[in-house]
Structure 1
Amino acid sequence: MKKFYFLLTAIPLLFQSQNSVEHFIGYNFITAQSVGKIKGDIKNNIYGHSLTFGTNLENRTEEWVKFLSAKNIKYNLIYLDLDQMQNNLWGRNYGFGEVYAASANVDFRLMKFRDFEVLFSPTLGLAYITKTVHTDPDSYFFGSHLNAMFDAGLGIQYDLTKNYALTSRLSFLHFSNGAIQLPNAGVNTISASIGIQRNFNIPTHTEQDQQPETQVKKQALEIAIGVGQRGKYKVKEAFYRVAISPAYSYFINNTLGFKIGLDAVYYDQVFNPEVYDDSVPYWGKSWEHWRIGTSVGTEIKMNKVSFNANYGYYLYFKSPYNQKTYWKAGLRYYFTPKLGAESIMTAHQVQADFISFGLFARL
């Protein structure tokens, strides 16, 4: 804790200027408990720490900042001790390892009362988990060291002084690899944190350190093409998918858009019940090479980055499980107002099918 306090006090002294942008550094102590199907049934007390570097957005002029009431953007380094989450694995205590993660999030202000603010903070990151089925073949939880980290929750910030604030947060935290490698049981936790934040300024040449906002067409036809994989069980091989999604999109402003379209997925291999690698139950299996659905959704654009979410119904899908619906969500990055890259996860109910990486164009 003394090391973190030194960072909170020493780093701000390096940046003193009248013409500057407000930044902050923060430390949080984290405690969590696993919930759901995969959890610690012997011991379930997870502890950890996070170090945050962030920027205050309140003086920015971009449309998305004002429209969404964005307050901060944060970059976080996180450590969690999942060995304190222990499961009875074939008659022995199994700890889930350690987590080293890097994440980013935006704080959206929901309410302010005097020096108190209530914030909604969706977070996305990449986590390295030390234990997998390859380090312990008896386990069946994580198929890979690298996992995505999704976190969403409510926080309270209390401004003690101009330079210091107390922070607290209650959130739902999820780790999984999106089925890139199986097994992908994943871990869900309810986490709580408490911390302190130190504000400081970094000199700039302009009054506001911001990039020109990327403008998009109000309405457009778009096409997205991506490639992804679904892992085979406990081996470093995979089945491959190609996703093709034409759609019509309409933006009511430069931040919020809606879309309707088709989603076609091509399977390089179809379901074969006699092959062990494909016998693990999951709802994305197909007897044929193509499945086609139609979906509606939204896009929330924050300058060059946007969040996308769609819910769909299958028009054609020869599923062994008679699957009728799906959803997909992910991020886009705009190179230009018309072209960009995207990463989209497709899922059935609470089970990830695959993550596609590709390009999109708005025509």
Structure 2
Amino acid sequence: MAHLVSSHPLGAELNVQRQTTGAAPWHAWYKYPKVGLALVYFDYRNPLLGQSYAATVYLSKSISRTARHDFSFRLGTGLGYFPLHYDLYSNRKNTFISSPLNATIQLRFEYDVALSEHLGLLLALGLHHYSNGATDKPNFGINLPTVAVGVNYHQQRPAPVRPGYAPAPPDVGHNFLNVSTSVAFKKRSAFDPTTYVVNSITLAAGRRLNRKSNLLVGLEGFYDRSLRAAQLDTARDTRHLPDTRKAGAFLGHELLLGRLALVTHLGVYFYNPYKSNPFYYERVGLKYHLTPWLFGALDLKVHRFAADALELKVGARLGR
């Protein structure tokens, strides 16, 4: 990919940020983080990559904060748009980005120092990641380390927060069951135009450990139709092919932010006749409870840090 790494991209960012004040219990549990929206533009200064535009929602957690200084860590996710992307005939050298819409993840350490009552100087060191989660190929994605300098306008510094203790939720120490199913869409390669459907079903048992965490163990099955197509392409004899369906067991964690949760799983395949991938898989995603028992999620399933499928999930929680 050396032909794509030919310059230092330049970018600009516009942020709108709000200090949490304790209106919801989780604000106090995380020591009053900031939430915000970032609009991000990059010019890659490369005729194959062009520009990108992204909108990211994020959470910023202070590591050290005084009346004049604020050192914080920021984590955000959203959507990015690339007008230029891979095309077999007109842009086949762009193996980074193969579709106009991509997911984006942003990690950033920020230092804000007061210049006046309302203005602050911002210095930041970050990482931007863009990928379509293997919904299209090729999909090497972009990892973009950044150094940023900017100016913050503070309506009130420091922003007021509600004093007091936020009680623990009533379900701490209680067990529950999750039942869910998902669908994903993926391509095998840039030379196969077919979009294949991937399905999964999951049964998980969980326990709320404390204010911030759920621990889960579960079983799940996967049916990836692209594996059957790959199998038929390479098999000499198609009469006795191994099963392409897979089953796995996983250990998972959910970092809770009110109705929202950051999901991380590590799983191992115990039924895997068609050895198309490593024996383990990872998952990272966002889960949102629409009601106390109904939830939706967007998960990225990964094999050894390479995206396998971007899963759209719906499920139900049983128990207290």
TM tier, shorter chain? 0.7 to 0.9
Q: Which of 268, 292, 309 in structure 2 is aligned with 1:354?
A: 309
Give the AA of the match of 1:258: L
Deviations 1:296-330 (CA, angstroms, capped at 9, x unpaired): 12111212211100111111113435611110011
Change (3 A) 1:39 1:66: farther
Matches within 5 A, 1:213-228: 217=171, 218-228=174-184
Change (3 A) 1:171 1:325: same
Say if 2:161 is the partner of 1:199.
no
Give the AA of the match of 2:311: S
Give the AA of the match of 2:148: S
Which residue of 1 is the match for residue 18 of structure 2?
A: 55
Which residue of 2 is the match for residue 258 of structure 1?
A: 215
Say if 2:67 is the partner of 1:105.
no
Shift of 1:198: 1.1
Say if 2:82 is the partner of 1:129.
yes
Change (3 A) 1:157 1:174: same
Deviations 1:139-173 (CA, angstroms, capped at 9, x unpaired): 33322010111111211122333322222211121
| Whole-angstrom distance in 2 between the partners of 1:164 and 1:124 | 26
Matches within 5 A, 1:174-323: 174-200=129-155, 217=171, 218-234=174-190, 236-273=193-230, 287-321=242-276, 323=278
Change (3 A) 1:73 1:274: closer
Q: Which of 65, 90, 97 in structure 1 is aligned with 2:27?
A: 65
Shift of 1:249: 1.2
Counterpart contact for 2:48–2:94, Cα < 8 Å: no
| Whole-angstrom distance in 2 between the partners of 1:275 and 1:141 | 28
What is the SS of the residue equivalent to 2:154?
strand
| Whole-angstrom distance in 2 between the partners of 1:355 and 1:242 | 11
What is the SS of the residue equivalent to 2:26?
helix
Shift of 1:97: 1.2
The gaps in structure 2 that reach 5 residues or longer are 236-240
| Whole-angstrom distance in 1 between the partners of 2:126 and 2:242 | 39
| Whole-angstrom distance in 2 between the partners of 1:181 and 1:105 | 26
Give the AA of the match of 2:74: S
Q: Which has the higher contact order (CA 8 A, sep 6+)?
A: 1
The gaps in structure 1 that reach 5 residues or longer are 1-36, 87-93, 202-206, 280-285
Change (3 A) 1:323 1:103: same
Matches within 5 A, 1:23-34: none
Change (3 A) 1:198 1:322: closer
Counterpart contact for 1:287–1:320, Cα < 8 Å: no
| Whole-angstrom distance in 2 between the partners of 1:111 and 1:287 | 56
Counterpart contact for 1:261–1:295, Cα < 8 Å: yes
Shift of 1:233: 2.3
Q: TM-score, normalised by structure 2?
A: 0.85
RMSD over aligned CA atoms reads: 2.7
Counterpart contact for 2:48–2:91, Cα < 8 Å: no
Q: Which moved more, 1:162-171 or 1:182-191?
A: 162-171
Give the AA of the match of 1:68: Y
Counterpart contact for 2:278–2:304, Cα < 8 Å: no
Change (3 A) 1:199 1:333: same
Change (3 A) 1:221 1:146: same
What is the SS of the residue equivalent to 1:200?
coil
Change (3 A) 1:273 1:228: closer
Say if 2:73 is the partner of 1:120.
yes
Shift of 1:216: 7.7
Matched positions, count: 300
Give the AA of the match of 1:268: R
Give the AA of the match of 1:128: Y
Give the AA of the match of 2:30: L
What is the SS of the residue equivalent to 2:28?
helix
| Whole-angstrom distance in 2 between the partners of 1:305 and 1:75 | 16
What is the SS of the residue equivalent to 1:328?
strand
